[in-house]
């Protein structure tokens, strides 16, 4: 019989609900006392001392070693807390199948003993209730929990136990080979001289495991292991020097924010974000951290700084800014947020495209690779008839690059070559089309390139068509991304709110694509006064020239992703957030077909034998509708061939 202990209910009165945003405090008065956020009742259960944690030590007897094919014949469990017995649970279980003879010899459990015993369907709900909210402990926990989990799954019960402790792993970590050559339960029971000896019966083995667990706890207690989290951190075999650095995380709050590991010279080694700062930083000093570079960083770290943030968006933005400011050596990404290559339309009498680190008023980018930027710029110049020669031309001059005898551009020649010279006014229409393409006012060059693509496909020049297709896909994708971010960066001020998951709102003030202020209106707090306070205290943003008005593209992209998250809504804005009618987003369906073509080729290649060239599936080519969009796929499959990527 299990003994049940009742606990008195705790009623919590909240006296004040405060929301602090950059010096702004919104208070709702009530009666009573609010619990401190450092109160143990509100802390994570893993941080509780071992003496206050309830453990349920379980042992099973089964018909074999496979949880998929064998069944449980006996369950024994002991519930303890603080070294005191709370209750026991023991029952035979009818496996509804025969018990092998060698199992009978090992456990002494016969088919006659379990014939009238309850089935696992009757026993398991009672065990789950007995072990509710406790830490499950077992000797070779994977075996016991595997059978229990399989039974729960078969019955449609969710597995409720997140915290599991294996005394085999703990013994291997605590005891040396000389002291314990084997960590079998019988060997450990003999080593520790426990009162209950294992008998291969569930309850006896569970009682023996309880005593072994307590003896192991006595060993680790002298090593500073006081909580269940400390115990989990200790298990993987983390060096003492690393475990000792856990004190670097003690001053951190349990809320969202960013953290910075600093080295011996106070230099920033690493920057990261966390929903729970204390828990995330503590994880660096445990066995869960397997990255070699990060282990090296932890060994160098002397302290951890932090900045508390209102929510994840603010933490993400501040991380990007700190990465750009400090360029930490152990971060791999986003250390140079302003670096990138832009395709810019020059401001001269005969404009052309140039590749620059700085964006002009009309530009496309940024590109990570200069070579990719050059390739996209070449396609734009070819589609728009823009000159690529480097001749310095004055306003009163003319563009005189000539075509070949067949009326076509010479190989490697200027894309703006014509049979007759062009004056500046005559040439300006080409520059206007290019500017319209980059800003989304026209997609005529894209449609012209698609016409060429279909012409190449009809002529069975599939390799040329595939190269053009991939270049055009890259151009359209970059147009869509740049125009999408530019649409957000154009807005002088936008205030948005997203649910915080607790009935409150995460608030953000965005100016020209940059986060200017952030805060939270907790549940029950009127959000509009908080919005007004945030807007009044927000950072002043002076826009620069260029599509993104000087905002780092990664920050604008992060904010855009947050804005398009389900549940986020715009509270107010100085202008609408809209994409251009003829922009790159119009060709999303075509790009999806290109992506599908590439996936088909990869899948085909995977099924081909080694050394044999793959035969790609037909690649859809969109037929242009009268509106210029992709009306539907057209597949050149009638000839038995396809575009070859």
Catalytically annotated residues: 200
- Strand 54-62 to strand 363-367: parallel, antiparallel, or no bridges (unpaired)? unpaired
Return the axis-axis angle of helices 141-155 and 120-130, rounded to nearest 10°.
120
Q: Which secondary structure element, helix H or strand E, spans residue 631, and what is its range?
A: strand 630-634
- Measured distance CA(63)–CA(95) in Å, rounded: 8
Residue owning tokens 């064998």: 70
- Measured distance CA(218)–CA(210) in Å, rounded: 13
Q: Using omega within 30 degrees of 0 as the cis cutoff, is the peptide bond preceding 366 cis?
A: yes
Task: Decide: 288 and 523 in contact? Cβ < 8 Å.
Answer: no
Please state the separation of Cα 531 from the chain's center in Å: 29
**Tokens read off for 140:** 């070779």
Q: Which residues pair with 77 in a beta bridge?
A: 58, 89
419 by DSSP, 3-state: which?
coil
- Measured distance CA(60)–CA(178) in Å, rounded: 29
Handedness of CA 282, 286, 288, 294 (dihedral sign): positive
Output phi, psi for 49, to 5 deg.
-60, 150
Task: Decide: 180 and 171 in contact? Cβ < 8 Å.
Answer: yes
533 by DSSP, 3-state: which?
helix
44: Cβ–Cβ under 8 A, 6 or more apart, which residues? Answer: 229, 254, 279
- Measured distance CA(575)–CA(566) in Å, rounded: 21
14 by DSSP, 3-state: which?
coil
Task: Decide: 388 and 416 in contact? Cβ < 8 Å.
Answer: yes
Which residue from 552, 622, 559 is spatially nearest to 586, judged by alpha carbons? 622
**Tokens read off for 405:** 């005898």
**Tokens read off for 522:** 């907790």
455 by DSSP, 3-state: which?
helix
Alpha helices, H only, 4-90: none
Q: Which secondary structure element, helix H or strand E, spans residue 418, and what is its range?
A: none
Return the axis-axis angle of helices 167-174 and 141-155, rounded to nearest 10°.
160
Output phi, psi for 418, to 5 deg.
-140, 165
Output phi, psi for 640, to 5 deg.
80, 20
Which residue from 206, 169, 175 is spatially nearest to 192, judged by alpha carbons? 175
Output phi, psi for 15, to 5 deg.
-90, -40
Residue owning tokens 């307590």: 214
321 by DSSP, 3-state: which?
helix
Output phi, psi for 80, to 5 deg.
-135, 155
């Amino acid at each position: 019989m299990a003994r049940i202990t009742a606990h008195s209910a705790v009623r919590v009165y909240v006296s004040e609900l405060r929301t602090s945003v950059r010096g702004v405090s919104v208070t709702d008065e009530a009666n009573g006392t609010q619990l401190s956020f450092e109160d143990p009742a509100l802390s994570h259960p893993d941080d509780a001392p071992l003496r206050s944690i309830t453990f349920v030590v379980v042992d099973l007897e089964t018909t074999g070693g496979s949880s998929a094919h064998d069944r449980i014949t006996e369950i024994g469990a002991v519930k303890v807390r603080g070294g005191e017995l709370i209750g026991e649970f023991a029952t035979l279980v009818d496996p509804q199948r025969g018990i092998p003879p060698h199992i009978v010899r090992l456990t002494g459990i016969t088919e006659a003993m379990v014939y009238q015993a309850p089935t696992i369907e009757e026993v398991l709900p009672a065990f789950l209730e007995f072990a509710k909210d406790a830490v499950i402990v077992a000797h070779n926990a994977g075996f016991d929990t595997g059978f229990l989990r399989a039974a729960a799954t078969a019955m449609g019960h969710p597995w409720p136990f997140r915290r599991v402790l294996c005394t085999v792993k703990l013994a291997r970590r605590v005891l040396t080979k000389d002291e314990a050559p084997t960590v079998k339960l019988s060997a450990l029971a003999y080593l520790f001289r426990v009162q209950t000896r294992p008998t291969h019966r569930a309850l006896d083995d569970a009682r023996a495991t309880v005593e072994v667990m307590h003896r192991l706890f006595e060993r680790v207690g002298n090593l500073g292991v006081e909580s269940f989290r400390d115990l989990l951190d200790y298990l993987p075999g983390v060096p003492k020097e690393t475990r000792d650095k856990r004190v670097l995380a003690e001053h951190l709050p349990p809320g969202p924010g960013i953290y910075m590991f600093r080295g011996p010279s106070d230099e920033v080694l690493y920057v990261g974000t966390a929903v729970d700062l204390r828990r995330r930083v503590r994880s660096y000093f445990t066995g869960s951290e397997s990255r070699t570079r990060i282990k090296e960083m932890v060994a160098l770290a002397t302290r951890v700084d932090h900045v508390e943030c209102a929510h994840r968006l603010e933490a993400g933005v501040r991380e990007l800014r700190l990465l750009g400011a400090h360029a930490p050596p152990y971060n791999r990404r986003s250390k140079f947020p302003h670096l990138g290559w832009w395709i810019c339309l020059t401001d001269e009498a005969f404009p052309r495209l140039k590749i620059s680190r700085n964006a002009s008023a009309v530009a496309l980018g940024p590109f990570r690779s200069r070579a990719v930027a050059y390739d996209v710029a070449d396609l734009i110049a070819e589609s728009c008839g823009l000159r690529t020669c480097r001749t310095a031309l004055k306003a009163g001059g003319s563009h005189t690059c000539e075509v070949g005898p067949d009326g076509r551009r010479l190989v490697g020649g200027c894309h703006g070559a014509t049979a007759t010279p062009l004056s500046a006014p005559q040439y300006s229409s080409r520059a206007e089309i290019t500017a319209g393409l980059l800003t989304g006012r026209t997609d005529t060059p894209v449609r012209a390139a698609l016409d060429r693509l279909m012409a190449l496909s009809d002529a069975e020049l599939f390799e040329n068509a595939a190269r053009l297709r991939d270049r055009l896909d890259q151009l359209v994708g970059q147009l869509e991304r740049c125009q999408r971010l530019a649409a957000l960066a154009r807005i002088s001020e936008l205030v948005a709110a997203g649910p915080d998951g607790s009935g409150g709102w995460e608030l953000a003030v965005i100016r020209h694509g940059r986060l200017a202020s952030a805060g939270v209106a907790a549940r029950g707090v009127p959000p509009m006064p908080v919005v007004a306070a945030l807007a009044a205290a927000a950072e002043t943003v002076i826009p620069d020239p260029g599509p993104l008005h000087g905002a780092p593209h990664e920050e604008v992209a992060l904010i855009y992703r947050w804005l398009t998250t389900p549940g986020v809504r715009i509270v107010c804005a100085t202008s609408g957030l809209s994409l251009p009618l003829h922009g790159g987003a119009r060709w999303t369906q075509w790009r999806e077909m290109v992506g599908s073509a590439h996936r088909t080729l990869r899948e085909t290649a995977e099924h081909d034998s080694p050394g044999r060239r793959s035969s790609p599936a037909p690649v859809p080519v969109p037929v242009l509708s009268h509106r210029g969009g992709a009306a539907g796929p057209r597949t050149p499959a009638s000839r038995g061939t396809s575009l070859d990527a």
